[in-house]
Chain A
Amino acid sequence: MKKAVTATVTLAMEADKDTLAKIEKFVKKRGARKITYEIDENIIGGIIIQIGDVIFDGSLRSRLDNIKENV
């Protein structure tokens, strides 16, 4: 994976410190030095992490969309 500078983390609501620490650890392990947090209620719950071109989508929104497509 290429080293990218900034990671964008999207959450549905504010997370506690413990969760934020785990997020930071995960993101830094993948080469990101800076983290930007966004709150978007549309994702309903879960997390979306974008590091460069790579997106880790663990949002409830995407899961519901997958279910809709597969029905």
Chain B
Amino acid sequence: MYMGYVESQRLANIFDALGFDWQSIVAHLIALIILTVGLYLLLFKPVKKMIKERQEKIRKIEQENNDLNEEVKSMKSSTEVVLNEAKKQASVIHDNAVRVANQKADEIVSSARKEAKDLVERTEREMEEERNKLQSEIKKQISDVSIAVAEKVLARDLTPQDNKKLIEDCIEQWSEEE
């Protein structure tokens, strides 16, 4: 202990000779230590924590971003599959629709032809009937006129001798019929 006191006295004399105030230096050192510890506790640690949290956040965001990208890729791929399938189905539907439309058109044309043919036949039949009716009418009129003319001619030109012959022929015929 005496050696230590002597050593410290010696050290103090050296510092005095050099012009250093060892008390001030110690005080400064203590202050520095306090400052450093304080900075560490109040600044360095929270900042480190904040930086760590920020990094963690960034990492999570990047992870989410990657997951989203993967999801988008997967959805894009599914969408393409669905689109292709839809295109195929649309093509099938289109072909079917064209086929059905053509079939319907053929049926309509066929039906229209049949109707036209029936109409023509019906019209021809009606015209034939009308023609026959007209012919009958004309025949009847000719007949009526002829009979009327015959009546007039007979009434005018029938002689008593002709009438006598007529009467006698009738009586003879009736007598033979019995």
Contact = CB atoms under 8 A, between A and B. Distances in A.
Contact of B166 (A22, A58, A71): A58
Contacts of B171: 22-23, 26, 47, 58
B163 A45 contact: yes
B154 A60 contact: yes
A11 interface: yes
Interface string B154-174: 110010101110111111011
Contact of A67 (B139, B147, B154, B169): B147
Interface of A: 11-16, 18-19, 22-23, 26, 29, 41, 44-47, 56, 58, 60-61, 64, 67-68, 71
24 contacts: A12-B158, A19-B164, A19-B167, A22-B167, A22-B171, A23-B167, A26-B171, A26-B174, A26-B175, A29-B175, A41-B155, A44-B151, A44-B155, A45-B163, A45-B166, A46-B163, A47-B170, A58-B167, A58-B169, A60-B158, A60-B166, A64-B154, A67-B143, A67-B147
